[in-house]
Amino acid sequence: MKSERAKVLHEILGAPVLSYVLKAVREANISDILVVVGYQADLVRKATGDGVKFVEQKEQLGTGHAVLCCEKALAGFDGAIFILAGDAPLVSAASLRAMLDTQRTTGVAAVFLSASLENPSGYGRVLRAADGRFIRVVEDADATAQEKTIREVNSGAYLFHAPRLFEALRKVRTENVQGEYYLPDVLPVLGKVAVVQAQDATEAMGVNSRRELAALSEILRRRILERHMDAGVTIVDPGTTYIEDEVRIEPDTVVEPFSVIRRGVAIGPGCHVGPFAHLRGAAVLEEKAEVGNFVEVKKSRIGPRSKAKHLSYLGDATLGADVNIGAGTITANYDGVRKHETFIDDGASTGSNTVLVAPVRLGRGAKTGAGAVVPKGEVRPGSVVVGVPARPIKKRKLARAGRGRG
């Protein structure tokens, strides 16, 4: 990766690579999880979330050695163990369940997941006999020119019977180019091994470079977009739309090009987002809300039919129904020490280039004039404020001004 950051901590769509593997494990109803840590162990621990135990690999002597480091933590366990690579984020819960079903029905000591890749370079090749029987896995660095033409590769996902696994690992040798303990080398030792081939070959893809990180990000991004489109959301141009995982979008919402929607955002039915909108920090858009070009919404709730169409920032804000946010409006939510909230009640509206200095509330039906700077406090319902700092306009003056225009 040419990076000081541990590979599994590089992000795909706003989350560490490792988090996708853990998500698949949890979706497969696997509850006891060990994560082997080495480089930047403390940072990896922080990134995994709750419900995970850790084993430290002080020396990086290969995948087989990493598993041996878990032997003490698994002492007395007589069940099945999944072993997965932390840098292979596309492995699916469905494939893990298929591996477990295969192990239960066949009784073999080991099952591993393979895939057929157009470009298998860098991956361990699956060697088979003429009758299709599995022989062994040969790592790319140790493969002959003929073996490198094989397209079926080892995904790095395994299922073993625990006691037999550790017995076999002690028989593994380091007579290879890397001088390491390769986990695949236990497979011939264990005897009969079952192979489950992934229906989606991308499950075998790992992250070993920035290019591969971008390629896997594109695959996951496209899957997310397709899921939303299949659920009734219009994505005008999927090629220019960025939506992270764990985003909820209701049917009949339209997302315009160059919009960025980050995890934790919830969008109701019939909303309109973008183009060039940025939604983040658990932002919520209620039914038929509209967020337009160059509008950023962070940790805010936009009420039903409310609109922020142009060049605005709404942070730590709660908008009621039928609110209209004028172009250039911002909520000044940070005082240099703490974040403060803004409340804009039903039917209120802001003029262009309004600054709302939180904590502040615009009452029901209140209005601000163009360029108004509203200091912390409350603007009374139905009133109009203008100027810097914003002050109310008296109703008598408004009436006189209206007669003059006539």
Q: Is residue 310 annotated as a catalytic residue, yes or no?
A: yes
The residues with which 243 forms a beta bridge, in sequence order, are 261
C-beta separation of 184 from 137 below 8 A: yes
> Distance between CA atoms of 315 and 217, rounded to whole angstroms?
28
CA 193 vs CA 27, 32, 133, 184, 229: distances in Å: 25, 24, 9, 11, 40
DSSP states of 28-84 = TT----EEEEBTBHHHHHHHS-SS-EEEE-SS---HHHHHHTTTTTTTT--SEEEE-
Picking from 293, 298, 230, the residue whose alpha carbon sits closest to that of residue 259 is: 293
For residue 225, give both structure tokens.
């977009």
- Give me the amino acid identity at 260: V
Query: Which burial class, exposed, middle or buried, applies to 114 when counting CB atoms under 10 A from its CB (0-12, 13-18, 19+)?
Result: buried
For residue 221, give both structure tokens.
């991004």
**Catalytic residue from among 65, 161, 272, 310:** 310
DSSP states of 141-210 = GG--TTGGG--EEEEEEEEEEHHHHHHHHTT----STT-S--GGGHHHHH-SEEEEE-SSGGGG----SH
Q: Classify strands 152-161 and 242-243 as parallel, antiparallel or unpaired.
A: unpaired
CA 344 vs CA 134, 363, 395: distances in Å: 66, 6, 22
**What count of Cα atoms within 13 Å lies in the side-chain half-sphere of residue 195?**
23
For residue 358, give both structure tokens.
């939180």
SS3 17: helix
Residue with tokens 């292979």: 88
The residues with which 302 forms a beta bridge, in sequence order, are 285
| Catalytic residue ranges | 310
